Amino acid sequence: MSLQKRPFYVTTPIYYVNDVPHLGHAYTSTVADALRRFHLLRGRDARMLTGTDEHGLKIDRAAKEQGVTPQAFTDAVSQRFRDAWPKLNVRADDFIRTTEPRHIEFVQSLWKVIADKGFLYKGAYEAWYCVGCETFKTEKDLLPGNLCDIHKKPVERVKEETYFFKLSAFQDRLLAFYEAHPGFIRPETRKNEVVSFVKSGLDDLSVSRTSFSWGIPVPGDDKHVMFVWFDALANYRSALEGNDAHGKPLRRYWGPEGEVVHLMGKDILRFHAVYWPAFLMAAGYTDAELPEAVHAHGFLTIDGEKMSKMTGNVVDPLRVAEEFGADVLRYYLLRAVSFGQDGDFDHAGFIERYNADLGKNLGNLVQRTIGMCAKYTNLKVPDAGVYTALDTELVAGVQRELQKAADAWTAIEPHAALEATMAASSLANTYVDRAAPWAAFKDGDLPRVGTILHALLDVVARLSIAIYPAMPDKSDRVRAQLGLSPISALLDHDAWPLGATELTIGAALPPGTPLFPMYDKEQTELLLAKLRPAKAPAMTDTPAAPVPAPTAAAAPAPAAPEAPPAPITYDQFSAVDLRVGLVVACEKVPKKDKLLKLQVDLGEPEPRTIIAGLALTFTPETLVGRRVVVVANLAPRDFGKGLVSHGMLLASGPSEALHLASIDEGVAPGSKLK
C-alpha cells in the first residue's frame, strides 16, 4: 500500500495527571494536531490520539493529600486537559484515559498473552524507585546523594514481590529491528543513545507493584497492580479497539495497514523505543506491526531559563492564546523550535516573530492584495491575462517553496515547513514591489494591473491552504477574504496547493480586514510585563495594566522626541565610503535567528562577505539580485566561529520590519554615492 493511501495515526504521550496543562504539553499536542491536519489536506485517512495517564503511586499520594479518592482526583485533572486542547485548536479524534474500562480490558488481555508466551515470571525486587518517574533506577542512573537524574529529588529504596518481564530476551531482536528500520527512532542523535543503551545489556524489567493498589490489577493475582508504564504505553493500541463513528474498524490505523507515529519528550524516549516494542514483540506482533516511528522532541526553556515551578516561570499556554489567539501561539511553537531539538520560548522573540512573519510578511501580503483589488478592480477577481517572465518567476518560486513545505511536513519538520511557507509569502511581497501595479494603473495598462493582482490572489489562495496545519482559524479567515470555501470542504482529496488555481474570474471579494495587527514598541513592553511569569510569587490586588489594542497598520507609534545628533563636518561625512552593492548570494547563519550572510558584488575582484541582521524581515532568496547601499570602509567585524563582516548595509526600521536603502537597476556595482 502506498504511503498516501495508508491511514496515518499520530499520538501524543498520555499526560500524567499530577499537573495541569503547561507549555510543554501544548507543544507536543500542537505538533501532533498540525501533522494530522497536514495529512488530512493530502487526502489521507488521519487520526490523532491524546489522553491522560492516571495510575501510579504519585497519583495515589496526591489524592490522599487532598483528602479525595484517586478516581475523583484523576477525574478533575483529566478534565482540565480535555478542556484545554480545543482552546489551542487541537482537535484530537480520541481522548483516552487509563482508568476507562476499554483500556483496562485491553491491558489485562495483553498481560495474559505475554504471560501465556512465557515472558512474565514472579520474583522479588529491591532497588531505588523514583516516584516522579514512576520507575526503578539503577545505581548508575542516580546523582550523588541518591537523587533522580531527571527530577533531582531523592529516590526511595523499595523491596517487594514483583512480576518480571523478560526484557533481556529481546535485546538482539530490538537491535536487529533498529538496523532494519533506521527511521524508527528520531532524531538520529537520540537513536544513537537508545542503541548504545540496548547494546550495554538489558536487565529483566519489574512490571508490577504490591505496595499500593491504585493501578490495573494483574489478572489472577490482584495483590499486584501493573507497572504504570506497562499500563500507559498500551493506550496507543487500546484506543483502536472497535469501530469508528462510520462503522469502520479502528484497527486499520495500526501497522502494517497504518503508519503509526508516536511523539514524546526526550526524557521518555527509552520507554517508547525499548520497552514498548519489546512488549509488542512478546505479545506476538511482527516487525511490520510495530510503530513506524517514535519521535522525541527536546525540552523548552523560558526566556533562556529552565521551566520550573520553583522559579515561578511556568508559562500557561491558555493565557498566551487568550491574548494573541491560539493560532499565533501554535505558529510560534511550530516555527521557532526545530522539532527534535531543545528550544526556548522567548517572550520578546515571540512578539518579534509575530510582527515579522505574520504582521509584516503574511498579513501585509493579504492586506495589500485585497486593498489593491479594492482600488483597481472594484473587489473582483481579475482575468489572468498573459503572464510575463516576472509573473512566471513568481509562480515557479512559490511552487518550489510550497513543495519544500510539503516535504518538511512529511518529514516531521514543522519549523522547516513554515519557513518555506513564509518564504513563498516573501516572494509575493517582493513581486509587488517589482511588478508595481500602481505604475501600470497610472499608465492606463489595466490588463497588466489585472494580471499582477490575479497572480497575487492566486498566491494568497495557495498560502491559505499551506498555513492550515499551523493556523486553521487564520486559514479560513484568509479564504473568507478571497470568497473561497472553508478548508473543511477540501479534505476529501489531496488539496495541497500545487495544482490549478481556485480563483474564479469575476468573483466578488469581501472587503479586507487586518489579520495580524502589528504591535508597536509601547504595546510590546506592556504585553511583556503582562505575560512574563513573575520570578517569585507576590501578593497583590493590583490588576495588570490594560494593553492597548494592536495597531492595524504596520507603522509604529511616534517615538518621543529625542535630542538631535551633534552636527558633523563635510570632511567627516566624506570619510564614509558609500557604494552600490549587488547581492549575488545569501544564506542564513545557523543558530542565529536574526543574521544573514550575504555575498555582495562591489565591483571588486571578489564579492565581499557581509553579515547583517535582516533575517526577521527578509528571506535569503528575496535579497539575491537586489542593489543595496554598502558602507564599504568599515573595519571588519568578527562575529565568531569564522564569521567576519566586511561592510554594512543601510536600512531603517526595527529588526522585524526593516526597509533597505536601494538603488535603481541601471547603476553598476561599486559605484560611489555622493
Higher-confidence residue: 394 or 212?
A: 394
Domain boundaries, the chain: 8-297, 364-561, 570-660
- The Cα–Cα gap between 397 and 128 comes to 58
Residue 569 has pLDDT above 90, yes or no: no
Range with lowest mean pLDDT among 13-22, 115-124, 427-436, 480-489: 13-22
Sorting pLDDT into bands at 50, 70 and 90, what band is 309? low
Residue 414 has pLDDT above 80, yes or no: yes
Per-residue pLDDT reduced to its tens digit, 222-247: 999 999 999 999 999 999 999 998 99
* Burial environment of residue 248 by CB neighbours within 10 A (0 to 12, 13 to 18, 19 or more): exposed
Residue 321 has pLDDT above 90, yes or no: yes
Residue 270: phi and psi, rounded to 5, are -60, -40
3-state class (DSSP) for residue 531: helix
**Cα dihedral sign for 648, 651, 655, 656?**
negative
Alpha-helical regions (H) of 67-170:
70-87, 101-116
CATH of domain 570-660: 2.40.50.140
Residue 108 has pLDDT above 90, yes or no: yes
> Nearest 5 degrees, angle CA 457-CA 517-CA 91?
75
Q: Any idea how long the chain is?
A: 674
Per-residue pLDDT reduced to its tens digit, 353-365: 999 999 999 999 9
Per-residue pLDDT reduced to its tens digit, 129-153: 777 766 767 777 778 777 887 767 7
Per-residue pLDDT reduced to its tens digit, 420-474: 999 999 999 999 999 999 999 999 999 999 999 999 999 999 999 999 999 999 9
Residue 243: phi and psi, rounded to 5, are -120, 160
pLDDT at 302: 87
- The Cα–Cα gap between 68 and 64 comes to 6
Residue 295: phi and psi, rounded to 5, are -115, 115
3-state class (DSSP) for residue 644: strand
pLDDT at 39: 98
Active-site positions read: 22, 25, 130, 133, 148, 151, 306, 309
Per-residue pLDDT reduced to its tens digit, 252-281: 999 899 999 999 999 999 999 999 999 999
Residue 296 has pLDDT above 50, yes or no: yes
Please give the torsion angle defined by the CA atoms of residues 271, 273, 274 and 275, in that order, rounded to the nearest 10 degrees: 40
Tell me if the bond preceding 182 is cis, omega within 30° of 0: no
pLDDT at 532: 81
- The Cα–Cα gap between 123 and 466 comes to 56
Residue 557 has pLDDT above 50, yes or no: no
- The Cα–Cα gap between 579 and 649 comes to 10
What single string gives the DSSP state of each residue in 7-66? -EEEEPPPEETTS---HHHHHHHHHHHHHHHHHHHTT--EEEEEEEE--SHHHHHHHHHH
Bridge partners, 147 (sequence order): 143, 154
Bridge partners, 205 (sequence order): 165
- Grid coordinates representing 27 are 507543544
Query: 8-297 belongs to which homologous superfamily?
Result: HUPs (3.40.50.620)
CA-to-CA dists, residue 50 to 28, 92, 262, 271, 621, angstroms: 10, 7, 10, 17, 39
Find out whether 243 and 249 touch, Cβ atoms under 8 Å: yes
Sorting pLDDT into bands at 50, 70 and 90, what band is 591? confident
- Grid coordinates representing 546 are 490594560
Grid cell 510585563 in the structure block, residue: 529
pLDDT at 562: 43
Q: Is 364-561 the same fold as 8-297?
A: no
Per-residue pLDDT reduced to its tens digit, 630-646: 999 988 898 877 788 99
The DSSP call for residue 604 is: S
Mean pLDDT of 186-206: 94
pLDDT at 199: 97
The DSSP call for residue 667 is: S
Range with lowest mean pLDDT among 401-410, 438-447, 651-660: 651-660
- The Cα–Cα gap between 313 and 326 comes to 20
pLDDT at 669: 86
**Cα dihedral sign for 553, 556, 557, 558?**
negative
pLDDT at 431: 97
Sorting pLDDT into bands at 50, 70 and 90, what band is 560? very low
Residue 330: phi and psi, rounded to 5, are -60, -45
Mean predicted lDDT score pLDDT of the chain: 89
- The Cα–Cα gap between 253 and 259 comes to 7
- The Cα–Cα gap between 427 and 335 comes to 18
> Nearest 5 degrees, angle CA 393-CA 399-CA 400?
90
CATH topology assigned to domain 364-561: Isoleucyl-tRNA Synthetase; Domain 1 (1.10.730)
CA-to-CA dists, residue 605 to 601, 636, 670, angstroms: 9, 18, 11
The DSSP call for residue 533 is: P
